[in-house]
């Protein structure tokens, strides 16, 4: 796929599965939302279906009601998985408010090192290739890393909002990036 500053954005593949499992072990419980990860304790069950599940999710096949298609990428630094990203080509009503088109999760020890900034251009290219004209990225207002990442991209439009997540109201930032 793409390589930015040593970080490769790759399609999930069997040769990277052990690295992805290691990523899940290091990151489980340290992400604001575990939807983008797999529970490492359940590796025995999801390891047999993960690639079919990703393929189906990208095609929108067999998804539960309210779930939109998504394309997943693993972020590799050498032979180490340091992050996961997914792009949702279309949004439902909830994702239009909070969630957006792009999900990104980095290993806790790799946050703040510029890897998100390094892969953002490749993710924007993939989003454009998937037909997204205006990319919506959201984060909690107190997620300074995500805010900094979005605010480095020229031409963004910021909307501030409140969203109830898990019964708790949170202030959120919604960034809109026009993809040329």
Query: Could you read off the pLDDT of 22-64 as tens digits, one per residue?
Result: 999 999 987 766 677 899 999 999 999 999 999 999 999 999 9
Whole-prediction pTM: 0.90
Give the model's pLDDT for residue 104: 92
**pLDDT digit string, tens, across residues 80-93:** 999 999 999 999 99
User: E strand or H helix at 4, and its extent?
Assistant: strand 2-4
Ordered strands of the 80-87 beta sheet: 2-4, 7-10, 71-77, 80-87, 102-106
Average per-residue pLDDT for the chain: 92
Whether the per-residue pLDDT at 2 is higher than 70: the answer is no
First to last CA, the chain: 20
CATH assignment of the domain containing 60: 3.40.630.30
Could you count the other beta carbons within 10 Å of the beta carbon of residue 135? 22
**Predicted confidence (pLDDT) per residue in 3-25, tens digit:** 556 899 999 999 999 999 999 99
Residue-level pLDDT at 34: 63
Contact 136, 175 (CB under 8 A): yes
pLDDT at position 164 is 86
At residue 154, does pLDDT exceed 60? Answer: yes
pLDDT at 30: 77
Residue 5: the pLDDT is 64
pLDDT at 29: 82
Residue 33 has what pLDDT? 65
- Total number of domains constituting the chain: 1
Q: Which of 59, 148, 68 is nearest to 100 (CA)?
A: 68
Question: What are the structure tokens assigned to 84, written together?
Answer: 């996961």
Full residue range of the structural domain in which residue 84 is found: 2-178
* Mean pLDDT value across residues 97-122: 92
């Amino acid at each position: 796929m793409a390589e930015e500053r040593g970080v490769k954005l790759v399609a999930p593949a069997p040769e990277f599965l052990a690295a992805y499992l290691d990523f899940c072990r290091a990151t489980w419980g340290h992400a604001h939302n575990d939807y983008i990860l797999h529970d490492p304790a359940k590796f025995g069950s999801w390891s047999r279906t993960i690639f079919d599940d990703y393929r189906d999710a990208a095609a929108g096949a067999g998804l539960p009601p309210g779930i939109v298609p998504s394309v997943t990428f693993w972020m590799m630094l050498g032979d180490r998985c340091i992050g996961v990203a997914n792009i949702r080509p279309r949004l439902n009503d909830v994702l239009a408010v909070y969630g957006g088109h792009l999900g990104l999760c980095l290993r806790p020890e790799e946050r703040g090192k510029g890897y998100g900034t390094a892969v953002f251009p490749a993710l924007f290219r993939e989003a454009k290739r998937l037909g997204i004209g205006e990319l919506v990225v959201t984060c909690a207002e107190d997620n300074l890393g995500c805010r900094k990442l979005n605010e480095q991209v020229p031409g963004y439009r910021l909307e501030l909002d409140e969203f109830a997540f898990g019964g708790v109201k949170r202030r959120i930032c919604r960034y809109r990036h026009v993809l040329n």
